[in-house]
């Protein structure tokens, strides 16, 4: 009996040690606040994986840049400082020009076009990230990007010298081509930048403006120009990914697909509701006049040519697949 008890104890210890060995804990770095729909969606994804993995994988989310700031997340995941994270794709144009394709002005101005562009670019983006030691899980767009301003904008001359918040090379280039003065500012610093007068205009989603209560910083106007639908992507460190068994990898991919589908739906809802919230807060929400619209479209055409030159044959292939 003593021998049997001993063997049973050894076996139980062995099973426990195996379970501990295969259990993984991932820290998920999120740049935006917990109330942002991207962060809320990512948290639901993380919770679902944690619950359904049977203890094999626990994902802990860290919203609001509490683990790493937005500009640090890509590098943190790539180097394994964080196992998983979410990053604004077009801020990574220096890593790969294809990551900027969704921020080319007036290329995709509806959700259906945004999805078509995503499908056209995704295979090359996944391949590129893989070569950098990263696994792509899913991507979700922000609502259509509009123009915010402290002052009314009625003509091209009203743009000249306007202090403009930029967050990637595309928005910097827009400022240059329209005569605005760009300053690169991450999302977490928007309120301070407007309140101190460092900037007085920006192009971003109605969701960001609502979440930041941008009207409290003297911003009175939102022009619904639907310039583009930029996306956030969720990526995983490849070494961390390879530490999972096949069953857990399949679970993560399944939940990622569900999170992507839900995220697109949340974005569509926000595209309507958040513009109403801006108007309810007293902001003037409307369209630009035909002259300004034509001006922005010409800027977009110039930038598309520049981007195609930079992105090379891969970019040309993506645009061809998108257009046909």
CATH 3.40.50.150 fits 146-228+275-323, yes or no: no
Instruction: Quote the pLDDT of residue 5.
Output: 58
Domain boundaries in the chain?
Answer: 2-141+230-271, 146-228+275-323
Rounded to the nearest 10 degrees, what angle do helices 111-131 and 290-323 cross at?
50
Mean pLDDT of 90-115: 95
Q: Where are the alpha helices (DSSP H) in 62-146?
A: 70-79, 111-131
Would you state the structure tokens that stand for residue 56, as one six-digit string? 């094999």
Mean pLDDT of 113-122: 98
Judge whether 214 and 185 are in contact, CB under 8 Å: no
- For 103-116, the pLDDT digits (tens) are 999 999 999 999 99
For the stretch 1-35, what's the b/e string if a residue is b when 16 or more beta carbons lie within 10 angstroms of its beta carbon? Answer: eeeeeeeeeeeeeeeeeeeeeeebebbbbbbbbee
201-204 sheet: strands from edge to edge: 181-184, 163-166, 201-204, 146-149, 221-223, 284-286
- pLDDT grade, residue 3 (50/70/90)? low
- pLDDT grade, residue 2 (50/70/90)? low
DSSP state, residue 144: P
Mean pLDDT of 212-238: 97
Cα distance between the two ends of the chain: 75
CATH number of the structural domain 2-141+230-271: 3.40.190.170
Domains 2-141+230-271 and 146-228+275-323 share a fold: yes
**What does each C-alpha distance from 215 to 148, 246, 255, 286 come to in angstroms?**
10, 49, 37, 15
Judge whether 129 and 140 are in contact, CB under 8 Å: no
**What does each C-alpha distance from 315 to 50, 104, 265 come to in angstroms?**
37, 12, 27
- pLDDT grade, residue 17 (50/70/90)? very low
- For 270-284, the pLDDT digits (tens) are 999 999 999 999 999
Would you state the structure tokens that stand for residue 124, as one six-digit string? 């090359």
Q: Residue 18: pLDDT above 70?
A: no
Q: Residue 170: pLDDT above 90?
A: no
For the stretch 228-261, what's the b/e string if a residue is b when 16 or more beta carbons lie within 10 angstroms of its beta carbon? Answer: bbbbbbbbbbbebbeebeeebbebbeebbeebbe
């Amino acid at each position: 009996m003593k021998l049997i008890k001993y063997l049973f104890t050894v076996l139980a210890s062995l099973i426990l040690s195996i379970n501990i060995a295969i259990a993984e804990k991932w820290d998920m770095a999120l740049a935006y606040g917990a109330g942002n729909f991207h962060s809320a969606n990512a948290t639901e994804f993380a919770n679902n994986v944690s619950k359904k993995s049977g203890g094999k994988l626990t994902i802990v989310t860290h919203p609001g840049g509490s683990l790493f700031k937005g500009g640090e997340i890509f590098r943190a995941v790539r180097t394994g400082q964080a196992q998983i994270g979410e990053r604004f794709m077009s801020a990574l144009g220096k890593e790969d020009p294809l990551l900027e394709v969704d921020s080319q002005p007036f290329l995709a101005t509806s959700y259906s076009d945004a999805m078509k562009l995503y499908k056209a670019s995704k295979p090359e983006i996944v391949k590129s990230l893989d070569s950098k030691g990263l696994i792509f899980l899913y991507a979700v767009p922000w609502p259509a990007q509009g123009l915010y301003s402290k002052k009314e904008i009625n003509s091209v001359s009203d743009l000249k010298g306007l202090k403009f918040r930029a967050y990637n090379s595309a928005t910097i280039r827009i400022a240059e081509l329209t005569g605005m003065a760009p300053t690169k500012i991450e999302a977490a610093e928007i309120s301070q930048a407007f309140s101190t007068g460092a900037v007085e205009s920006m192009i971003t989603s109605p969701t960001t403006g609502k979440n930041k209560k941008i009207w409290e910083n003297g911003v009175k106007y939102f022009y619904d120009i639907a310039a583009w639908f930029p996306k956030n992507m969720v990526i995983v460190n490849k070494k961390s990914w390879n530490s999972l068994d096949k069953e857990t990898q399949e679970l993560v991919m399944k939940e990622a697909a569900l999170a992507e589908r839900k995220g697109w739906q949340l974005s569509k809802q926000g595209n309507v509701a958040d513009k109403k919230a801006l108007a309810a807060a007293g902001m003037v929400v409307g369209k630009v006049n035909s002259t300004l619209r034509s001006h922005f479209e010409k800027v977009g055409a110039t930038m598309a040519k520049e981007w195609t030159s930079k992105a090379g044959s891969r970019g040309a292939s993506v645009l061809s697949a998108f257009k046909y």
